[in-house]
Amino acid sequence: MAAEGEFTIPASKLSPKKQIVFALWIFERMLPRTVAFCTDTGVDFSCCLQTRDAAWNYIETASERRALYRSLSDACLKNAPDTEEFAHEMTSDALDAFITTVHIMQFILDGRFDHITSVSTLATDSVDGYLANLEPGIVMTKEIEARIASHPLMREELQRQKNDVEFLAALPDHFDNKTITALKERSSRQPSLVPLAR
């Protein structure tokens, strides 16, 4: 995540439900490459979709289904692809998405903001990894790091996160059905974090 000071409104100032929505929007941007990886490799990502549904259900109903959240967190952690086991170019992207769902469930369980920070960081790590693979050399230099940090894809994701926080901050803390429907629609319109093809 960009340093909290770089946001007009820090994500930590959002209500817990708004923080979950913020994390879900990031997950949706991670999903296209995760689906592509799982389609190619046969890895089961149903736990990720179930986690997304459970998180939205929590936002809608505030139901405390702690056993379900723990079970989904465990399932996503168990099914997360091992980067040493798969040679697929999107393995790291899928791993980041699986771990994102774990953080979302854990945040609902314990309310620790570091889970939200981790989700944001996983997104920028995915962009970083994609851009690093576009570099011709295999040794990371300060010049390459600077090029990645200033790349339009990285700037776009950081700007999206900033826009997401500002959008959520402007909403009432209590979500009525109309607001939740609008939030879900906005979620479904999220662009892919990075292109599906290099």
Q: What is the pLDDT of residues 85-124, one digit of tens each?
A: 999 999 999 999 999 999 999 999 999 999 999 999 999 9
Percent of the chain with pLDDT over 90: 80
pLDDT at 1: 47
Amino acid identity of residue 49, one-letter, is: L
- In this structure, which topology does domain 14-180 adopt according to CATH? YP_001051499.1 fold like (1.20.1590)
Take residue 116 and report the two structure tokens written for it: 């939200």
- Helix 114-134 to helix 91-110 angle, to the nearest 10 degrees? 170
**CA 98 to chain CA mean position, Å:** 9
Q: Which pLDDT does position 141 carry in this prediction? A: 76
Mean pLDDT of 148-170: 94
Where does the pLDDT of residue 139 fall: very low under 50, low under 70, confident under 90, or very high at 90 and above? low
pLDDT at 3: 46
pLDDT bin (cut points 50, 70, 90) of residue 8 is low
Higher pLDDT, 82 or 7: 82
Q: What is the pLDDT of residues 58-95, one digit of tens each?
A: 999 988 899 999 999 999 999 999 999 999 999 999 99
Place of tokens 């894809």: 153
pLDDT of residue 134: 79
Residue 147 banded pLDDT, cuts 50, 70, 90: confident
Q: What's the distance, CA 81 to chain centroid? A: 16
Largest Cα span, the chain: 51
Quote the pLDDT of residue 62: 81
Domains of the chain, residue spans: 14-180
Using CA atoms, how far apart are residues 22 and 168, in angstroms rounded to an integer?
8
Q: Identify whether the C-beta of residue 194 lies closer than 8 Å to the C-beta of residue 153.
A: yes
**pLDDT of amino acid 21:** 98
* Per-residue pLDDT, 25: 98
Contact 14, 165 (CB under 8 A): yes
| Residues 9-30: tens digit of each pLDDT | 789 999 999 999 999 999 999 9
State the CB neighbour count (10 A cutoff) for residue 135: 14
pLDDT at residue 5, as a whole number: 44
Residues 104 and 89: beta-carbon distance below 8 Å: no
